[in-house]
Amino acid sequence: MGGKAIRANNEPTHYRGQPGIDQPSKATESGGLVEIALPLPIDRGFTYRVSKANRVPPVGARVVVGFGRRRMVGFVVGSVAEPPRGVRLRPVLEVLDAEPVLSDTEWRLALWMARYYVAPIGLALRLFFPPGATYAVGRGEKRRAARRKERLHVLPLGPLPPKEEAERREALGSAPGQLRAWEAARLLDRPIERGDFCRRVGVSEAVLRALAGRGFLAVEPRPIVRDPLLASDAVLPVVAPEGALTGDQQGAVGTVREMLAARSGEAVLLQGVTGSGKTRVYVEAVAAALESGGRAIVLVPEIGLAAPVVSRFRDRFGDRLAVLHSGLSDGERFDAWSRIRAGEVPIVIGARSALFAPVGRADLIVVDEEHEGAYKQDETPRYHARDVAVARAALEGGVALLGSATPSLESRANAGSGKYGHLRLERRIAERPLPAVEIVSLARRRDRGGDPAKDGATQVPEPPEIVAPGLSRPLAEALEETLAAGDQALLLLNRRGFSAFVQCLDCGWVAECPACRISLTVHRDRPRLLCHYCAHDEPLPDACPECRGIRLDTRGLGTQQVERAVKDLLPGARVTRMDVDTTSAKWSHARIYRAMQEREVDVLVGTQMIAKGFDLPGVALVGVVSADTALHLPDFRASERTFQLLVQVAGRAGRGDRPGRVLVQTWLPGQSAIVAAAGHDYEGFYRHEVEQRRGLGYPPATRLANVVVSGPDEESVAGGAGAVDHYLRERRLPGLRIVGPAPCPLERLRGRTRHHLLLKADGAPVLDDALWDLARREETLLASADRLEIDRDPLSLL
Ligand code: ADP
Ligand code: ZN
Ligand code: ZN
């Protein structure tokens, strides 16, 4: 847990297992000593004394204390009867709350997370407060007053007659900044604060003044609403109103209503094929929760990719919705948080951290695309928002509504066992068919597993000609036909960059990251070699550093290369790319999406980003350049991820009036995930994969924890992992199996060597026991430079 470097003057006390910790509202006893949890990666509380002048704060209140040379805001987690001997206790400097600041259930949720994920309580508590305002000190009132003030806003430009538009564009031709600002203002559908506008469009205020001076733009004072996404919606279209609910949708919403009324505290899985109207069910379920004065939290995997979903909610609920996203400044986040806490907005939508918004009690928690990996936090506490949502609903008597076309195996198993409810939407809206999926085998022979007759998938007997990098003849022809018919196409390749790696043809040298033991990816937009893990970059070499040879070859396709191949193949086509490299600027994702929607783009090449949430009626063809990118990873979820990605991306086709077509290029045409995805056969895949996992002892058949030892020195890390292993085996915990220790598949990352042990257990309690035991012994088992990371219910073992 990495807290060893931190030392306090005060004697630490272990808070776990102390009586009183589960009762947040209980006032601490007199004696004036309190135990404080601080927002640090440190697994213990600290004793402070409360001076006579101060009231003794209750458990769950925030206080300001000195820690080392810093002042910090901490949480009262208990009272201390006996002062620790031999230390001079430091005083509590300020008591911020007379009452506990979290609700009883929020407090208990934080405790549950700390225990389950083996994390310091201070880090779990921190999730409940806006970042930057960690344990925010009560400046709320001042800020709220400021919020009512007026500020200058850029007003939307109405439509212009074509002639005038052309003239203005011409007049602005020599001033690119002004042109950009003018075009952005044309896209607005509501006023946007001037500073926000400049920041997002990337122009100075002088540019706005110049435009206003020419009469091309209006800037006026308006009351401020500090939420850039609200403004960014301006560049998003308003969705057409939807018709009445289908019978299936009505049934699903009806069940959620009953659960809400019963305050059951239960979870329900909404399993619905792509385009079956799940989002509409979420919207209606939220409306149902609000009818009786309730609150709702809507979680999406990545807010940046969720613009279509957010606008559906915004259209329906307008200002009753707060959007939490990473684009918010600390101040904006604090504002949103205050408004939610004050009960001004009953709906919160956001990425996983929105789960901790201060709604008091969440009557409904929607988890959209519950199978998505983005719900897992990759630092302590390593929580999974779907699982914490289920825990929160159980604590508060709320409903957790988990939706997906491709549920995680865990959730599907829980629905099967009755732990979760199970709702199904088996048909697309308007009886649209699911798109036909054709497998294009790139393999020379077919004997790589699978029975073509049984697979039911179309297979090409001879491997097709490759007409351009990444494009077989069938895919190239399908692209041409699609564009000739005036339709759009998506091309998926889940690898960004130009080529996967660069290799010397003479000696076999491959360019690797100096900090990570992985190969560097070749990028051509800005010609560089890039590490996709630590972002290290270096120039492309002219010669091999090992043998001085100059025959350097690049291997493995990336999105940049496919984009170029499509442009070469179809010179007239408008081709755009969507991956991490083209969407790093704020709202660029929404801009590309809009360009697709407006049919300004014919072919969109992209990584998994294009597989998610797109609802574009113009897309008639989806091409998967390689279905195999994830399959060879040494990870037990490789097959599940491949299946999910293929089904999701196939689901982007045929959402309009014309039936969609999907072509999947693969070297493994018989692989179970690929065959099942081609048949839109979730249940078949689930049954097969669950059996495989049972055989190998992986979830959902078992409970898993990944214990990673990392440090700068390889020998020390190996020794530490050995010590952990030895210690656990000595304990002989029944029902616990230990796999390893072994180097992690990504053995060296960011300058640290990593070894891991995989703990498999039949049930949760034995894992609790083993993991806490390890956490407490970190200092004795490991060398001081090494770290122990515990990942409970890991999504990836890399
Ligand atoms: P999913 O979330 O399951 O992929 P969506 O909720 O996005 O499905 O619905 C797919 C499409 O069908 C969307 O364009 C949506 O506007 C439309 N739609 C959803 N429900 C209805 C309905 N009851 N009547 C008409 N159109 C609907
Ligand atoms: Zn060489
Ligand atoms: Zn690196």
621-657 pLDDT, tens digit each: 999 998 888 777 778 888 899 999 999 988 888 888 7
Nearest to 40 by CA among 13, 10, 16, 75: 75
Cβ–ligand 1 contact at 711 (below 6 Å): no
Question: Averaged over 750-773, what is the pLDDT?
Answer: 89
Which residue's C-alpha comes closest to atom 23 of ligand 1?
A: 245
Q: How far is CA 686 from CA 630, 643, 713, 770, in A?
A: 18, 10, 42, 30
Report pLDDT for 253.
95
Q: What angle do CA 334, 337, 342 make, to 5 degrees?
A: 125
Are 505 and 574 in contact by the 8 Å Cβ rule? The answer is no
Between these two residues, 450 and 37, which has the higher pLDDT value? 37
Q: pTM of the prediction?
A: 0.79
Report pLDDT for 313.
87
Average pLDDT, the chain: 82
Confidence check: pLDDT of 309 > 50: yes
Taking only the tens place, the pLDDT of each residue in 93-124 is 888 877 777 888 888 899 899 989 998 888 88
**Which are the contacts of 27, defined by CB distance < 8 A and separation ≥ 6?**
56, 58, 59
Lowest-confidence pick of 398-407, 529-538, 635-644 = 529-538
Confidence check: pLDDT of 446 > 70: no
Question: Averaged over 240-250, what is the pLDDT?
Answer: 80
Extract the tokens encoding 536. 């290290």
Q: Compute the distance from residue 615 Cα to the ligand 2 centre, in Å.
A: 48
Count of other CB atoms within 10 angstroms of residue 584: 9
Count Cα atoms within 13 angstroms, Cβ side, for 538.
13
Cβ–ligand 1 contact at 432 (below 6 Å): no
H helices of 188-277, in order, are 194-201, 205-213, 228-232, 247-262
Helix (H) or strand (E) holding 115: helix 104-116
Cβ–ligand 1 contact at 58 (below 6 Å): no
Phi, psi at 512, each rounded to 5°: -120, 155
Question: Averaged over 157-178, what is the pLDDT?
Answer: 82
Question: Averaged over 443-470, what is the pLDDT?
Answer: 63
Report pLDDT for 139.
43
Q: Compute the distance from residue 487 Cα to the ligand 3 centre, in Å.
A: 40
Q: Compute the distance from residue 124 Cα to the ligand 3 centre, in Å.
A: 29
How buried is 655 (Cβ within 10 angstroms: 0-12 exposed, 13-18 middle, 19+ buried)? Answer: buried
Nearest to 360 by CA among 352, 348, 349: 348
Question: Averaged over 405-421, what is the pLDDT?
Answer: 95
Confidence check: pLDDT of 189 > 80: no
Ligand in nearest proximity to the CA of 751: 3
Ligand in nearest proximity to the CA of 511: 2
What is the edge-to-edge ordering of all strands in the sheet holding 421-425? 321-324, 347-350, 296-299, 364-367, 399-404, 267-272, 421-425
Ligand in nearest proximity to the CA of 543: 2
Extract the tokens encoding 217. 């733009």
Phi, psi at 389, each rounded to 5°: -60, -40
Taking only the tens place, the pLDDT of each residue in 780-798 is 888 888 899 999 999 988 8
Taking only the tens place, the pLDDT of each residue in 320-361 is 889 887 777 777 777 888 888 888 899 999 999 999 998 989
Q: Compute the distance from residue 550 Cα to the ligand 2 centre, in Å.
A: 8
Taking only the tens place, the pLDDT of each residue in 690-725 is 999 998 889 998 999 999 999 999 899 999 999 999
Taking only the tens place, the pLDDT of each residue in 739-760 is 889 888 888 888 899 999 999 9
Cβ–ligand 1 contact at 245 (below 6 Å): yes
Q: Compute the distance from residue 766 Cα to the ligand 3 centre, in Å.
A: 36
Lowest-confidence pick of 25-34, 409-418, 515-524, 726-735 = 25-34
Lowest-confidence pick of 145-149, 564-568, 650-654, 684-688 = 145-149
**Which are the contacts of 634, defined by CB distance < 8 A and separation ≥ 6?**
745, 797, 798
Reported as a pLDDT band with limits 50, 70 and 90, residue 172 is confident
Cβ–ligand 1 contact at 404 (below 6 Å): no
Cβ–ligand 1 contact at 274 (below 6 Å): yes
Ligand in nearest proximity to the CA of 536: 3
Cβ–ligand 1 contact at 272 (below 6 Å): yes
3-class state of residue 682 by DSSP = helix
Between these two residues, 524 and 14, which has the higher pLDDT value? 524
Count of other CB atoms within 10 angstroms of residue 307: 24
Report pLDDT for 190.
67
How, if at all, do strands 347-350 and 296-299 pair? parallel
Confidence check: pLDDT of 592 > 60: yes
244 vs 256: CA distance, rounded Å: 18
Positive or negative, the CA dihedral 102, 104, 105, 110 is: positive
Q: What is the DSSP letter of 376?
A: B
Instruction: Give the number of the atom of ligand 1 that is nearest the alpha carbon of residue 240.
Output: 16
Instruction: Give the number of the atom of ligand 1 that is nearest the alpha carbon of residue 243.
Output: 24
**Which are the contacts of 68, defined by CB distance < 8 A and separation ≥ 6?**
6, 7, 8, 9
Q: Compute the distance from residue 190 Cα to the ligand 3 centre, in Å.
A: 43
Are 578 and 592 in contact by the 8 Å Cβ rule? The answer is yes
Between these two residues, 101 and 604, which has the higher pLDDT value? 604
Q: Compute the distance from residue 540 Cα to the ligand 2 centre, in Å.
A: 14
Report pLDDT for 575.
92
Reported as a pLDDT band with limits 50, 70 and 90, residue 574 is very high
Reported as a pLDDT band with limits 50, 70 and 90, residue 214 is confident
Q: Compute the distance from residue 561 Cα to the ligand 3 centre, in Å.
A: 22
Nearest to 408 by CA among 112, 690, 33: 690
Which residue's C-alpha comes closest to atom 4 of ligand 1?
A: 275
81 vs 19: CA distance, rounded Å: 12
Report pLDDT for 300.
94
Count of other CB atoms within 10 angstroms of residue 418: 8
Reported as a pLDDT band with limits 50, 70 and 90, residue 20 is very low
DSSP calls for 439-464: EEE--S-S-SSS-HHHH-----SSPP
Reported as a pLDDT band with limits 50, 70 and 90, residue 658 is confident
Question: Averaged over 282-311, what is the pLDDT?
Answer: 89
Taking only the tens place, the pLDDT of each residue in 432-441 is 888 889 998 8
% of the chain with per-residue pLDDT over 90: 32
Cβ–ligand 1 contact at 455 (below 6 Å): no
Report pLDDT for 42.
66
Per the listing, tokens 């020379």 go with: 444
Report pLDDT for 52.
74
Strands (E), 325-363: 347-350
Cβ–ligand 1 contact at 406 (below 6 Å): no
Classify residue 497 as left (phi > 0), alpha (psi -120 to 50) or beta.
left
What's the distance, CA 50 to chain centroid? 41
Cβ–ligand 1 contact at 276 (below 6 Å): yes
Report pLDDT for 142.
42
What is the edge-to-edge ordering of all strands in the sheet holding 736-749? 736-749, 752-761, 703-711, 787-792
Ligand in nearest proximity to the CA of 429: 1
Q: Compute the distance from residue 280 Cα to the ligand 1 centre, in Å.
A: 6
Mutate to test the pocket of ligand 1, among 250, 280, 615 (most ligand atoms within 8 A of CB): 280
Mutate to test the pocket of ligand 1, among 429, 612, 649 (most ligand atoms within 8 A of CB): 429
- Strand-pairing partners, residue 94, are 64
Amino acid at 505: L
Report pLDDT for 744.
87
516 vs 506: CA distance, rounded Å: 24
How buried is 548 (Cβ within 10 angstroms: 0-12 exposed, 13-18 middle, 19+ buried)? Answer: exposed
3-class state of residue 715 by DSSP = helix
Cβ–ligand 1 contact at 278 (below 6 Å): yes
Are 72 and 64 in contact by the 8 Å Cβ rule? The answer is yes
Q: Compute the distance from residue 547 Cα to the ligand 2 centre, in Å.
A: 4
Are 694 and 760 in contact by the 8 Å Cβ rule? The answer is no
Cβ–ligand 1 contact at 429 (below 6 Å): yes
Q: How far is CA 674 from CA 259, 445, 491, in A?
A: 37, 17, 17
Question: Averaged over 676-694, what is the pLDDT?
Answer: 93
Cβ–ligand 1 contact at 753 (below 6 Å): no
Confidence check: pLDDT of 209 > 70: yes
787 vs 146: CA distance, rounded Å: 44
Extract the tokens encoding 307. 């613009």
Helices vs strands, H then E, count in the chain: 23, 33
Question: Averaged over 179-190, what is the pLDDT?
Answer: 77
Most confident of 216-225, 229-238, 303-312: 303-312
Which contacts qualify for 774-778: CB closer than 8 Å, 24 or more apart? 774/707, 774/724, 774/727, 774/728, 775/1, 775/43, 775/118, 776/43, 777/727, 778/1, 778/4
Ligand in nearest proximity to the CA of 748: 3
Are 39 and 132 in contact by the 8 Å Cβ rule? The answer is no
Which residue's C-alpha comes closest to atom 10 of ligand 1?
A: 275
Instruction: Give the number of the atom of ligand 1 that is nearest the alpha carbon of residue 429.
Output: 12
Mutate to test the pocket of ligand 1, among 615, 616, 657 (most ligand atoms within 8 A of CB): 615
% of the chain with per-residue pLDDT over 70: 87
- Strand-pairing partners, residue 348, are 297, 322
Instruction: Give the number of the atom of ligand 1 that is nearest the alpha carbon of residue 368.
Output: 2
